Amino acid sequence: MLRISKVIVASCILLAAVAVTATAAQLSQKELLGKMIYKDKNLSLNSNQACSSCHTGSVGWTGPNSDVNASGAVYEGSIPGSFGDRKPPSAAYATQSPLFSVQTQAGAQLFVGGNFWDGRATGWKLGNPAADQAQGPFLNPKEQALPNAAAVVSKVCSSTYGDLFVAVWGSTACDGSDIALAYDKIGLSIAAYEASQEVNQFSSKFDADKGRKCLTNQETHGAALFMGKAKCHLCHVGSGKMPLFTDFTFDNLGIPKNPENPATIADPTFVDPGLGGFLRNLAANDDWRKLTYVTNVSALESKQLEQLAVANEGKHKVPTLRNVDKRPDASFVKGYGHNGYFKSLERIVHFYNTRDVLPVCAATDLPLTDEYAQANNCWPAAENPNNINMQEVGNLGLSSAEEAALVAFMKTLTDGYKPK
Ligand code: HEC
Ligand code: HEC
């Protein structure tokens, strides 16, 4: 028996070593170009912000500032004082999201896919949600804040990697003949990088484990809970060959308002509408009918979309859990949920377990932060009270050892695992 277990341990190390070497794989020319664009701070109004400023590899491709994560969790744009209203999700594993579309399941319409918390980067334009998404931040006044596509194209063409841009996409990319097309190529280049092996490493302890028993007893226990009693797997799908720990659907978990969100500070009545807000815009704006990418959403009438907006109010896209614990050091804080309300994995797991068990926090003048809720053993009311999922989350009956095991399991999803 002992002999066999030694062999198993050895093969775990071997596989992990293969995974780590694979991550050092060379980028293609297009992926390299995308990386240059992704990291170029010059592509912002004040030359102070790149995509990587809010999506950094060392923190799991999300926000790299521990103090920001520990409070409002929303990042300042290129223009000082300008803020969005959500936490940056991971830019890794996002390219694998399908085009935003609707399916009918058990007589109800179920939305799937796209990028952003509310799915509004549909992929209908460039055939890839991440490429559609990548065209947004440069021109978003609350992010990189450049005036128009021509300004972005001009900066790319005159950059140190301008030649690479032409080498990859041809001379028309920089001759000014078709700015819209050149801007599309910028989006596609970034999406190529985001889809590369450097970004989507699949090199976690979980990946190394596959049938080789690398996980500790506690992590294995956590995996079993994740797939079973704790029901996480129903949305963060963890089975299959290279699972992404999301099914790209949308749900309202009833997460509390983050009182430190700049949007809430500016307007205490702010409520994030999530997918409902996007569907309302879609219904109001007939342009979506003209899109070349025909999806089954375009078969829906505006009136029906308005009803679906109500039914999807408050829902956010299920995020990947890969790299959910990746951080530069143990003291670095990450915020969890679309508004970064929860300040640790322990806390969000406790919420899943006890949302419907602990009392609602009593009225007070203090901000109802995660820290406050923890100290007072209560949960604040949901930010958005509509369509809260009452079936799968809220009262899981987990012991504190089971909560800890779930956290331990999620920590095995960090890329760059090196066996000791
Ligand atoms: C100021 C911070 C900031 C900058 C700069 C920024 N992002 Fe984001 N990013 C965010 C936030 C916040 C969201 C979520 C917004 C939402 O859902 O409405 C997001 C969402 C995303 C997503 C969606 C992931 C998913 O799973 O749906 C991707 C991919 C992404 N950003 C890539 C990029 C790229 C590429 C750039 C540069 C062109 C960029 N970001 C620049 C903050 C930023
Ligand atoms: C019904 C679907 C569903 C189930 C079941 C579910 N989740 Fe989630 N999870 C989501 C959605 C949707 C979000 C984002 C919600 C939001 O921000 O408003 C999320 C967010 C998270 C986040 C935050 C990730 C981030 O990057 O901010 C973690 C961690 C997480 N879930 C872990 C778990 C664990 C552990 C379980 C099992 C105890 C679980 N989830 C069960 C749908 C689900």
Best residue among 393, 396, 399 to mutate for probing ligand 2's pocket (most ligand atoms within 8 Å of CB) is: 393
What's the pLDDT at 298? 73
pLDDT for 305 beyond 90: no
Q: What is the pLDDT of residues 128-184, one digit of tens each?
A: 999 999 999 999 999 999 999 999 999 999 999 999 999 999 999 999 999 999 999
Nearest atom within ligand 1 for CA of residue 74: 12
Cβ neighbours, 10 Å, residue 55:
24
How far apart are the CA of 368 and the centre of ligand 1, in A?
A: 27
What's the pLDDT at 285? 79
The closest alpha carbon to 100, from 92, 91, 109, 108, belongs to 109
Give the ligand at the shortest distance from the Cα of 342. 2
Give Cα separations from 363 to 160, 267, 359, 381, 412 (angstroms): 56, 19, 12, 10, 39
Confidence class of residue 11 from pLDDT cuts 50, 70 and 90?
A: low
The closest alpha carbon to 321, from 409, 404, 251, 402, belongs to 409
How far apart are the CA of 319 and the centre of ligand 2, in A?
A: 7
Give the ligand at the shortest distance from the Cα of 226. 2
> What does the CA dihedral 228, 232, 233, 236 come to, rounded to 10 degrees?
-170
pLDDT for 359 beyond 60: yes
Confidence class of residue 337 from pLDDT cuts 50, 70 and 90?
A: very high
How far apart are the CA of 7 and the centre of ligand 1, in A?
A: 44
**Contact status, residue 75 vs residue 68, Cβ threshold 8 Å:** yes
Give Cα separations from 369 to 69, 255, 345, 380, 382 (angstroms): 13, 12, 15, 9, 13
**Contact status, residue 276 vs residue 361, Cβ threshold 8 Å:** no
Q: What is the pLDDT of residues 93-130, one digit of tens each?
A: 999 999 999 888 888 889 999 999 999 999 988 999 99
How far apart are the CA of 11 and the centre of ligand 1, in A?
A: 38
How far apart are the CA of 321 and the centre of ligand 2, in A?
A: 8
Nearest atom within ligand 2 for CA of residue 234: 5
Best residue among 36, 51, 111 to mutate for probing ligand 1's pocket (most ligand atoms within 8 Å of CB) is: 51
Confidence class of residue 283 from pLDDT cuts 50, 70 and 90?
A: confident
- List pocket residues of ligand 1, CB cut-off 6 Å: 38, 49, 51, 53-55, 75, 77, 84, 86, 88-89, 91, 94, 115-118, 130, 133-134, 137-138, 143-144, 190
> What is the average pLDDT score of the chain?
92
Give the ligand at the shortest distance from the Cα of 117. 1
Q: What is the pLDDT of residues 364-403, one digit of tens each?
A: 999 999 999 999 999 999 999 999 999 999 999 999 999 9
Nearest atom within ligand 1 for CA of residue 144: 5
What's the pLDDT at 317? 98
What is the rounded end-to-end Cα distance, in angstroms, of the chain?
A: 23
Confidence class of residue 213 from pLDDT cuts 50, 70 and 90?
A: confident
d(CA 414, CA 318) in angstroms, rounded, equals: 18
